[in-house]
Amino acid sequence: MAVAGLPTVENFQAPGYTVGIVTATWNERICDQLHARAVATAHDAGARVVEARVMGALELPVVVQKLSDTCDAVVALGCVIRGGTPHFDYVCDSVTQGLTRLALDTRTPIGNGVLTCNDDQQAVDRAGFEGSAEDKGAEAVIAALHTAKVLEKLPR
């Protein structure tokens, strides 16, 4: 896990900002936890939350694109666990490229909280459960809202 170098953002606040949180439902237990942590973190920061759920990771980019029209930042959450075929690679690559392209095309910060794991335990370790080493749902919200605040300060 890439915990080393993780920036610390204590008491992060983003009142007046709106964040869209789009979460896949595939790998339900993991995704529900990512979603809950993301929503709680956004609320703790004082941000308004718009929530949406989709079936799988491949459906995330189109809903992220729609929310980028009205939100200051958007977060995509999901969990792709490696199986026995190359499908994992295609899904992970497609989602990552789609979200990156959307961030650049829309100039809207997109937090990528899509876990790409070799097994279920790796997902649990990253999903913000009690005892998890990481909290990717919360981290994705903070990263997206922090970037929105940075962009607001830059000259047009």
- Is 118 annotated in a binding site? The answer is no
Say whether 87 is catalytic.
yes
Choosing from 35, 43, 87, 146, the catalytic residue is 87
Q: What is the rounded distance in angstroms from the CA atom of residue 84 to the CA atom of residue 92? A: 15
Q: What is the rounded distance in angstroms from the CA atom of residue 67 to the CA atom of residue 54? A: 13
- Is 57 annotated in a binding site? The answer is yes
- Is 156 annotated in a binding site? The answer is no
Beta strands in 55-156 (DSSP E): 73-81, 110-117
Q: What is the rounded distance in angstroms from the CA atom of residue 137 to the CA atom of residue 155? A: 30
Q: What is the rounded distance in angstroms from the CA atom of residue 85 to the CA atom of residue 107? A: 35
- Is 141 annotated in a binding site? The answer is no
- Is 81 annotated in a binding site? The answer is yes
Q: What is the rounded distance in angstroms from the CA atom of residue 114 to the CA atom of residue 5? A: 20
- Is 84 annotated in a binding site? The answer is yes
- Is 18 annotated in a binding site? The answer is no
- Is 49 annotated in a binding site? The answer is no
For residue 19, give the nearest of 123, 110, 154 by alpha carbon. 110
Binding positions for 5-amino-6-(D-ribitylamino)uracil:
26, 57-59, 79-81, 112
Binding positions:
26, 57-59, 79-81, 84-85, 112, 126
Binding positions for (2S)-2-hydroxy-3-oxobutyl phosphate:
84-85, 126
**Which positions are annotated as active-site residues?**
87
